Structure 1
Amino acid sequence: MSDYTDANRANWDDRASAHADRGPHGYRVSQYIDDREALSEVVRFDLPRLGSVEGLRVAHLQCHIGTDTLSLARLGARVTGLDFSEVSIAEARRLVADTEDDVDFVVSDVYDAASVLEPGSFDLVYTGVGALCWLPRIQPWAAVVAALLAPGGSLFLREGHPILWTMDERIDDDLHLRFPYFEQTEPIEWDSDATYVETDRPITATRTYEWNHSLGEIVTALIEAGLRIDLLQEHDSVPWEALPGQMVARPDGEFALGALDGVAPLSFTLRATKPA
């Protein structure tokens, strides 16, 4: 498993430096420096279901370069971002140093989060789109979430729908289900020098490994970890062009299917609470 993790970490180290470009590429992070009230499009989409985070202690798992993390802080939360990529965390720290947002960042594998963060001390665990597919097993992740939450605290998860992860994005004449829907022991191997946003250079650490987790497996893992499911809402969009040639951009930064709009769910939001 460490070989898979090492390859994925090298890929995310490379992506982080490209995504943090201060110019017109990557995450366009200069917008957060120029406008101290700017929020990421991801967090803006989440707001109707996220509700107020004012004064909450939040753990943002798999935070990457911190644009969603600082957005939560700008909404009044006390946030700690965690990621296994040292380059991602270095870029996140550089960003908040420039924006003057009060955010802490920690380098750690998500499975070890309860060892490096204080267990039972967070009002909210937040995780965003494109995180769970990098985890070999969903049950240990659910156990970490439950361990981090204080009694009465909640998980907020928005993620690409498991149905989306089964689709072959390389074929653009229809929706082609080619990859496992259910969690598998062995990962899907990819080799690509591209990433999901425009960058000014190709990615050099090209080999990655991913795992899918069915919606039922995610929900069941959280229930078995002792959490109560409060919300499960499916969406017809995702915040990147997941299926090139078949999607249309929306004004809010989301992408939806064009001619096949509404045929399949593309992402979902889940909220779960640790009973008091």
Structure 2
Amino acid sequence: MSSQKRDYVAINLANWNSRVPHHEQGYELHRFREDPRRLSDVVAFDRARLGDVRGLDVVHLQCHIGTDTLSLARLGARVTGLDFSEPALSVARRLAAECGAEIEYVCSTVYDAVAALGAERFDVVYTGVGALCWLDDIQRWAATVAALLKPGGRLFLREGHPMLWALAEPRPDGLLVVEYPYFKVEGGTLFHEKQTYVPHEGELAAPDSISFNHGLGEIVTALFAANLRLTALTEHDSVPWNPLGDGMVQDERGEWRLRERPERLAASYTLQAVKG
């Protein structure tokens, strides 16, 4: 086993811990405090697909600082948030308290979620954008999701498209270049990025990260193997942040799509699956 494979969780934890103070500022948390009806852009984008979650037990895996988690609670769900970063959860807990929301937050890796939370507890497992790329074993992830769900429970996933993760920023002539793996590679791909995805001053204290791309076929096959039945898969030409610099433009919903001929790129997708 390579040192990169062995250390990826520690490397990524340091990276995400170093993002927390920048995200606490850049996520505009004051807007959630000021408006009790405000939902995160990610949850609002999929609200019709998500449907009525009032009274349901929902767990949000890899919840980070909890804006999507709070949004699910505002839609009437009983929500638990799980993340491996205690600094991120400290912000999430403070935000929930300031907004009067009762949300349980648990510090754990995804793979330890069943031990941390209990089996067959949840009606919905929710996962937001930019989560699966930090996990090396998608079959283990799918098995964890299945174990968390009650019989008949549902997975709801909005994620960056694996084709998007494979692209470099557009060249000066505007052409898109496939630079990174579409398929999972052993050990992942090492990135050194001094800035996170929200504007901020200074550099990240821990700029290294290791990510793993997972093709749609790999993800869907893992869900089938975990006895999760695919019920919906919708691809979108937009994402809720700008991953490609000047090659993208923001729309009226706050989503980003290609500036020129956005129909060329599936940038994200929403997937749903049911247990059993």
Q: Is the pair's TM-score, using the shorter chain for normalization, greater than 0.5?
A: yes
Q: Which whole-Å CA distance do the structure 2 matches of 1:126 and 1:185 have between them? A: 27
Taking the aligned partners of 1:105 and 1:80, their CA distance within structure 2 comes to 6
C-alpha deviation, 1:118, in angstroms: 1.6
1:126 is aligned to 2:126: yes
* Aligned counterpart, 1:106: 106
Q: Secondary structure at the match of 2:245?
A: coil
Residue identity over aligned pairs, in percent, reads: 52
Residue pairs, 1:1-276, within 5 angstroms: 1-21=5-25, 26-169=26-169, 171=171, 173-275=174-276
Structure 2 contact 170–247 (Cα < 8 Å) conserved:
no
Partner Cα distance (1:266, 1:52) in 2: 26
Tell me if structure 2 keeps the 8 A contact 1:4–1:209.
yes
The superposition leaves residues 150-176 of structure 1 with CA deviations (integer Å, 9 ceiling, x where unpaired) of 001000000000000100126452211
Structure 1 consecutive aligned stretches of length 4 or more whose deviation exceeds 2 Å: 169-173, 199-202
Distance 1:163 1:206 in 2: 24
With 170-179 and 97-106 compared, the bigger mean Cα shift is at 170-179
1:78 and 1:7 map into 2 onto residues whose CA distance is 32
Residue 2 of structure 1 and its aligned partner are, at CA, apart by 4.3
| Letter of the structure 1 residue corresponding to residue 225 of structure 2 | E
Q: CA deviation at 1:264?
A: 1.4
Equivalent position amino acid for 2:15 in 1: N
The Cα shift of 1:200 comes to 3.7
- Cα gap change, 1:170 to 1:259, in 2 (>3 Å): closer
Q: Tell me the distance in 2 between the aligned counterparts of 1:33 and 1:162.
A: 34
Secondary structure of the 1:20 match is helix
* Deviation sequence 1:176-209 (CA, Å, 0-9, x none): 1011111111211111111111124321110100
The answer to whether the 8 A contact 1:168-1:179 is kept is yes
- Structure 1: stretches of 5+ with no match in the other structure: none
Return the letter of the residue paired with 1:3: D
Q: TM-score, normalised by structure 2?
A: 0.96
Write the distance in 2 (CA, Å) between the matches of 1:151 and 1:265.
32
CA distance in 1, matches of 2:72, 2:184: 31
| Residues 137, 183 of structure 1: 8 Å contact kept | no
Please tell me the residue identity of whatever aligns with 1:19.
Answer: H
**Separation in 1, partners of 2:44, 2:216:** 24
Q: CA deviation at 1:253?
A: 1.1
Residue type of the alignment partner of 1:51: G
Conserved in 2, the CA contact under 8 Å of 1:18 and 1:201?
no
Q: Match of 1:155, SS?
A: strand
The offset of 1:260, in angstroms, is: 2.6
